[in-house]
């Protein structure tokens, strides 16, 4: 496995990446040494990789317990955390145990918070099994769960001691998960690292089938993008907030769809919404909007909000967005990350946030809810033609 060091302020941890390297993962976990390995995953991942990982850990490294939680964002809450904590303690967790978060973003978050809170903090190792987890979740110190009024409102900052990733695990992912994950890559390219746009655009595959070497390139580029903005901002409250690009509308859509629109796909929609808001406000060109549609489209995700998602629910969620408080805005605006051009973020009052008029955001959300006519041209393309 190849090692990259993740650095955020005073926090550092190794990220080991390989392909077909489950044995190496087991060996490395054994080297870390634990009184007990608490392998946390959802039932699907438990069956695919969890049981084998635990068996190999038990044979090579020490007692290993497979602890499962129900799948999905709607189960990522304090009640699930409570069940996991009780189960881990019943199975003998102590201060020298290691929590192994084996899964996607939901598992990473909830197992991360579990590690942060058991005995006021025990070691955490991420073994991400999804694209989003490999290139986004495990590069954040945020460990949070959802509340009734919004996503990720309850949590803390906690660092893993290590990340161990095997791209072979991505082969069993449903294609919608791969497509969704690629939207986060598109986010990194548009908001932070425009140097990767051309190669990414050429490599994106709507069918979601990526060669291993492309996948590793994408992960390394994402590590570099993340490093650019969080190297001096481990709490993601300053420059790191740019990682929230597309997340204002994205979170609202994801949450309102009750999981029907996966995280990355929702962020893809959120980025298109952000680009439109920026363009309509006169801050960005129509080309920027079209570039968003092109890249997000090439990931293979849908370019509109499904018709069964309630738009009033989306608007309600927008009002509870967790960026409230970073930038004082009046009730007629939302604080959003907006771009002027690829890699160039609009700033106000020293932040990477801009007050976006609420009416404009709402109308852009309405547009995203209308499916484009098959074979028809997008409104943005028409605008683009007009601008030429």
148 binds a second copy (CB under 8 A): yes
Shortest CB 124 distance to a second copy, Å: 13
231 binds a second copy (CB under 8 A): no
119 binds a second copy (CB under 8 A): yes
Q: Is the Cβ of residue 157 or residue 283 nearer to a second copy in the bound state? A: 157
**How far apart are alpha carbons 334 and 357 in whole angstroms?**
7
Q: Is the Cβ of residue 96 or residue 348 nearer to a second copy in the bound state? A: 96
Shortest CB 146 distance to a second copy, Å: 10
Q: Which residue among the candidates 162, 184, 244, 254 is catalytic per the annotation? A: 244
161 binds a second copy (CB under 8 A): no
Q: Are 125 and 61 in contact (CB under 8 A)?
A: no
Q: Which residue among the candidates 56, 65, 76, 142 is catalytic per the annotation? A: 142
* Of positions 144, 169, 200, 204, contacts a second copy by CB under 8 A: 144
3-class DSSP state of 345: strand
349 binds a second copy (CB under 8 A): no
Q: Is the Cβ of residue 55 or residue 94 nearer to a second copy in the bound state? A: 94
Binding letters toward a second copy, positions 185-224, x by CB under 8 A: ----------------------------------------
Q: Are 311 and 369 in contact (CB under 8 A)?
A: yes
From 92-100, 160-168, 280-288, 344-352, span contacting a second copy (CB under 8 A): 92-100
Cβ contacts of 365-370, under 8 Å, gap ≥ 24: 365/249, 365/252, 365/253, 365/273, 365/305, 365/311, 365/314, 365/315, 365/318, 366/311, 367/276, 368/249, 368/269, 368/272, 368/273, 368/303, 368/304, 368/305, 369/304, 369/305, 369/307, 369/309, 369/311, 370/304
- List the beta strands (DSSP E) in 130-219: 142-147, 150-157, 162-166
The dihedral through the CA atoms of 167, 171, 173, 176 has a sign that is positive
**How far apart are alpha carbons 127 and 169 in whole angstroms?**
10
The answer to whether 76 is a known catalytic residue is: no
DSSP assigned state of 115: H
CA distances from 109 to 133, 185, 195, 338 (A): 10, 19, 30, 26
The answer to whether 55 is a known catalytic residue is: no
* Of positions 315, 326, 378, 381, contacts a second copy by CB under 8 A: 326
* Of positions 10, 207, 307, 325, contacts a second copy by CB under 8 A: 325
Catalytic residues, by residue number, are 142, 244
Q: Which residues of this protein are in contact with a second copy, per CB under 8 A?
A: 35, 77-79, 81-82, 85-86, 89-90, 94-96, 116-121, 142, 144, 147-150, 153-157, 235, 320, 322, 324-326
């Amino acid at each position: 496995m190849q090692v990259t060091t993740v650095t955020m302020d005073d926090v550092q941890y190794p990220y080991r990446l390989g392909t077909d390297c489950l044995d190496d993962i087991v060996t490395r976990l054994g080297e870390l040494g634990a009184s007990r390995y608490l392998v946390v995953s959802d039932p699907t991942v438990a069956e695919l990789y969890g049981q084998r990982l635990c068996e190999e850990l038990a044979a090579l490294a020490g007692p290993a317990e497979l602890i499962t939680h129900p799948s999905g964002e709607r189960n990522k809450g304090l009640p699930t955390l409570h069940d996991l904590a009780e189960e881990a303690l019943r199975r003998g967790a102590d201060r020298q145990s290691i929590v192994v978060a084996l899964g996607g973003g939901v598992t990473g978050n909830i197992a991360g918070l579990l590690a942060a809170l058991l005995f006021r903090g025990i070691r955490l190792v991420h073994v991400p099994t999804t694209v989003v987890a490999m290139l986004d979740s495990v590069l954040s110190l945020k460990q949070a769960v959802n509340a009734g009024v919004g996503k990720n409102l309850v949590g803390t900052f906690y660092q893993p001691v290590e990340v161990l990733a095997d791209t072979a695990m991505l082969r069993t992912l449903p294609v919608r998960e791969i497509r969704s994950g690629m939207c986060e890559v598109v986010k990194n390219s548009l908001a932070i690292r425009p140097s990767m746009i051309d190669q990414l655009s050429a490599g994106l595959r709507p069918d979601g089938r990526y060669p291993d070497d492309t996948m590793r390139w994408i992960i390394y580029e994402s590590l570099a993008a993340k490093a650019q903005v969080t190297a001096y901002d481990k709490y993601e409250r300053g420059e790191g907030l740019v990682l929230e690009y597309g997340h204002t509308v994205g979170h609202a859509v994801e949450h309102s769809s009750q999981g029907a629109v996966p995280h990355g796909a929702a962020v893809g929609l959120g980025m298109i919404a952000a680009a439109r808001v920026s363009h309509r406000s006169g801050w960005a060109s129509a080309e920027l909007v079209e570039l968003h549609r092109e890249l997000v489209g090439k990931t293979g995700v849908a370019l509109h909000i499904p018709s069964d998602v309630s738009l009033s629910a989306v608007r309600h969620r927008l009002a509870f967005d967790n960026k409230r408080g970073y930038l004082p805005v009046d009730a007629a605006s939302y604080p959003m990350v907006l771009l002027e051009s690829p890699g160039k973020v609009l700033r106000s009052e020293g932040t990477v946030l801009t007050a976006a008029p609420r009416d404009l955001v709402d109308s852009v959300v309405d547009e995203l809810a209308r499916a484009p006519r098959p074979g028809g041209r997008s409104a943005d393309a028409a605008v683009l033609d007009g601008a030429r």
